Structure 1
Amino acid sequence: MTGRRGFLAGMLATGLAPAASWADAGAPRWLSAAGLPDGGFVLCGIGAAMDLRFRIALPARGHAAAAHPERPEAVAFARRPGTFAIVIDCAAGRRKAELAAPEGRHFYGHGAFSLDGRWLYTTENDYEAARGVIGVWDADRGYARVAEFDSGGTGPHDIRRLPGSDTLVVANGGIETHPDAGRAKLNIPVMRPNLSYLEEGAVTETVSLAPDLHKGSIRHLAVSHGGDVAFGLQWQGGEDGPALLGLHRRGEAVRLAETPEGALRAMQGYVGSVAFAAGQREIAITSPRGGQVQIYDMRTAGFLRSEAVADACGVAPCPGGLIIASGTGDLRRIGRMPDRAAHPGLMWDNHLVAL
């Protein structure tokens, strides 16, 4: 792959080759950050057979990545509260640019591209004002920062684009933080999480949880092909909370999943990732704390089943069902074609990004 990447890069430099695609990066199906036994960190491309297609060094621990919709380019974000994001040319196997959070800001580990790939949107904390911000970066001008707008709440974490549009949905977790306090949560008694929908930099719809659920921090998102939004909660109270998965469609009320008490307790109040299965009829949430993967019915929001997977967090659709990444180095398919691949030299981080 290294020789092929070098040849391709040379051809592109002379203008003799067509634009690169994800096939030129080894045709990965998913991206994930991972830790190494020596303390280093990498971004990996994972193939359909759960094999590695590339591995590119990161300067520190990664969290999630945003994949460009047209070219083999990914933006790897630092774990919150990080201040860097690395743009990687995955075909050439090299860094293309580095984004630095503006003074007084930090990233939250997630970003999303516009429909045409021109703009990158990043979730950020304006920590002196306790204000959520969406940064706008021009991918065609070396990822220059060109604008910003309010996220519609405090502590924006995940951000997704609704299919076929440039409407953004943001998970405002509601938690105030400040670098001087490390990862301490400063406003738990009065936190107010919400989902905000944004169009052209303006909030067009906001959905909040009921007042008695205000300690349910909305952190991670998945969006179906039809525009349904699934969100995972991280409960900030002293108990497990009444629900850890919610569903929403624009213009409608939030639906909270119904979970048996024992299954809810097993998650230990924490959802690390959420994804729609390949058929769009089921939704999965993971808990690395509880070592659990739980599956819910999309139509009824009812609990279907659970599976114990040690340190499970990253989850994404795959043919026949879902793929799960574990901090132990395992990749596991669940569904109609169960399978497993071990990568003992890698500790998969929080998220699998489907390409």
Structure 2
Amino acid sequence: MTSRRAFMIGMMATGLCPVPSWAEAGNPNYLAAARRPDGGFELAGLDAAGNRVFRVRLPDRGHAAAAHPVRPEAVAFARRPGTFAIVLDCRTGREIARLETPGGRHFYGHGSFSTDGRVLFTTENDFEAGQGVISLWDVTKGYGRIGEYPSAGVGPHDICVMSEGDVMVVANGGIETHPDMGRAKLNLPLMRPNLTYLSLDGVVLDQLELAPALHRNSIRHLAVRADGLVGFALQWQGEGGESPPVLAVHHRLGGLALRLFEAPMPEQRRTKGYAGSIAFSEGGDLVGFTSPRGGVLHVFNVTSGALAGAHRIHDVCGLSSAPNGFRYTSGTGDIGRAGAGAKTLTVVATHDCQWDNHLVPVPV
């Protein structure tokens, strides 16, 4: 991710400074959606100690958010098949813009800014065609919609613009859905999830599929290490008694070929075939995922592939990097830190809410 300082220098060169910064919103380290005690919903900014530095109400349940690289702006996305994506001024809670898809589309709950902060990319479902779409929004012109192209797969869920700035990676989950059918999965026998690398103008640069025996392992969520190593979390759509791997890494340029991570049995069965969120540790030597269905957080050594930590956390889901490991959130309102060892689990704060699926880092 381009540093704030470099971005500010670029903005100064175009005569657009001064601009507000994340410091004016309380210097949050993370963004997280939550359900409030009154039944409403919000997007919160959290600092490293787990304190809420801002809270903004949402019209319905949120899923994830995208944080602007410099300005204190966040795009809050509805949970699939929700249709809202709201751009918020995190200093004031003011709605800056509301993104609307064309007819026959809905968002998938994720988006990613270009490294210079000028374009927002979102994943969408063209549900009549049964195909995925990446849409582009011009941040400099009030988040107006300026284009789209195919995601090169079905059910694009998560998306990340990589640190080199001219490549994005897309998790095409492979599951066809239609809002008239709620959250029903319409093509499980034929699904073919893939991990796709696109140029920012939509050219397919590379694409990865899992082995045919794992074709029902939906690729859902992403984490990208600074050197371009991509971690992806999977959700098994096959038989309930099976326990396939739900965590993998891949490097497009050959730094590390595809690797699937599995814990020894019976620990692997505790995941229930479902990975919720994924993150690399701050140093990049560890990769972890949460399973809210299983109530576990598994941590692996990236180099050896060995299980480095297995933590029991009720209703855990949100996960992000932190010094010496990870920060996590749970549906119980807890915010905690976790490392590799069995004794490196600590609750740092508890709030009167139910944290939702993801804990999104704010760029620094």
TM-score by length of 1: 0.93
Partner of 1:165: 165
Provide the residue aligned with 1:246 in structure 2. 248
Q: Is the 8 A contact 2:243 2:272 kept in 1?
A: no
CA-CA distance at 1:205 after TM superposition? 0.6
For residues 272-311 of structure 1, the C-alpha deviation after alignment (integer angstroms, 9 at most, x for no partner) is 0000011110001001110000001111222222000010
2:223 corresponding residue in structure 1: 222
Q: What TM-score, normalized to structure 2?
A: 0.91
Q: Structure 1 residue 59: deviation in Å?
A: 0.4
Which residue of 1 is the match for residue 14 of structure 2? Answer: none
C-alpha separation between the residues in 1 aligned to 2:100 and 2:122?
Answer: 11
Q: Distance in 2 between matches of 1:139 and 1:343?
A: 35
| Identity level (%) | 54
CA displacement 1:292-342 (0-9 Å, x = unmatched) = 000011112222220000100000011221101000000001238754234
Q: 1:343 aligns with which of 336, 346, 350?
A: 350
- Which residue is equivalent to 1:50? 50
Report the equivalent of 1:284. Answer: 288
Note if contact 2:262-2:268 (Cα within 8 Å) is conserved in structure 1.
no
Task: Determine the structure 1 residue equivalent to 2:9.
Answer: none
* Structure 1: unaligned runs, 5 residues or longer: 1-16
Match of 1:192 in 2: 192
Kindly indicate whether the alpha-carbon contact (under 8 Å) linking 2:51 and 2:349 is maintained by their aligned counterparts in 1. Answer: no
Aligned partner of 2:180: which letter? D
Mapped partners of 1:155, 1:290: distance in 2: 24
8 Å contact kept, 1:216–1:241: no
Q: How does 1:1-355 map to 2 (within 5 A)?
A: 18-199=18-199, 200-238=201-239, 239-252=241-254, 253-335=257-339, 339-355=346-362
| Alpha-carbon separation, structure 1, partners of 2:83 and 2:316 | 26
Structural RMSD (CA): 1.5
Q: Is the 8 A contact 1:32 1:65 kept in 2?
A: yes
Query: Which amino acid letter does the alignment assign opposite residue 305 of structure 2?
Result: A
1:201-247 Cα shifts (integer Å, max 9, x gaps): 11111000010100100000100011100001100011333211111
Provide the secondary structure at the position in 1 that maps to 2:180: helix
The answer to whether the 8 Å contact 1:28/1:47 transfers is yes
3-state DSSP class of the match of 1:317? Answer: strand
Range 107-116 or range 17-26, more displaced: 17-26
Contact 2:124 2:135 in 1 (8 A): yes
Residues 240 and 264 in structure 1, CA contact (< 8 A), matched pair in contact too: no
Q: CA deviation at 1:264?
A: 1.3
Once residues 255 and 80 of structure 1 are traced to their aligned partners in structure 2, the CA distance between those partners, rounded to angstroms, is 29
Counterpart residue number, 1:14: none
Instruction: Report the alpha carbon displacement of residue 70 of structure 1 after superposing the two structures with TM.
Output: 1.4
Deviation at 1:102, TM superposition (A): 1.3
Q: Runs of 5+ in structure 2 lacking a partner?
A: 1-16
